[in-house]
Amino acid sequence: MAEGFKRIKRELVAKGRILDYYHDTMQIPNGNIAVWDFIQHNGAAAIVPVREDGKLLLVRQYRNALERDTLEIPAGGLHPGEPTKLAALRELEEETGYRSEDAQFLISIRTTVAFCNEKIDIYVADDLQAGEQHLDEDEYIRVEAYTVEELTDMIYRGVIQDGKTVSGVLAYARKYGK
């Protein structure tokens, strides 16, 4: 813990399917006591799938928190003990129907550092083989392909706002000169 900060107690407020919500009672460096919200997340993995023609595959799905569809790179939570690279490849196949034998690490992000510890490792896969989607019962996903230029334009116009997607697309463009 950072110098001068001390956690006095952590109380579980609610246990969720993908996260747990806590109240942390903290003593801060000036001696004051504060109660902070804390979200425990088990981590996630995402992948930037690159087709042979150079287009990136994204998934369009409804997001309840925003009450609208979003356009995102494939991603999902980690299973207990699952390495992020394997999770990224699993999510690629589940959400897009494409498989890859390997993926290259691209970037790690922390999504909401003020109150959540979620970390997402993002990978790139470019040796895609067409297969079949394996969606969860509560998922309805459409797969779409775009050029890096189209996606970058959508990011700067505010069409794409999802943090992992923005980070993944821009990191891919920077690293691979697209």
Give the DSSP per-residue string, 82-126.
--HHHHHHHHHHHHHSEE-S--EEEEEEES-TTTB--EEEEEEE-
| Geometric angle at alpha carbon 164, from 146 and 2, rounded to 5° | 160
Mean pLDDT of the chain: 95
Give the pLDDT band of residue 139 (cuts 50, 70, 90). confident
Element housing 148 (H / E): helix 148-156
Mean pLDDT, range 102-128, rounded to an integer: 96
Under CATH, which number does the domain 44-176 receive? 3.90.79.10
The domain spans of the chain are 6-41, 44-176
The per-residue pLDDT for range 9-27, each reduced to its tens digit, is 999 999 998 899 999 999 9
DSSP bridge partners of 169: none
By annotation, the residues acting in catalysis are 137
How does pLDDT run across 68-114, given as a tens digit for each residue? 999 999 999 999 999 999 999 999 999 999 999 999 999 999 999 99
Report the chain's C-alpha Rg in angstroms.
18
10 Å Cβ neighbour count for 60?
13
Determine the average pLDDT of the residues in 58-73: 95
Q: Cα separation of 97 and 111, whole Å? A: 26
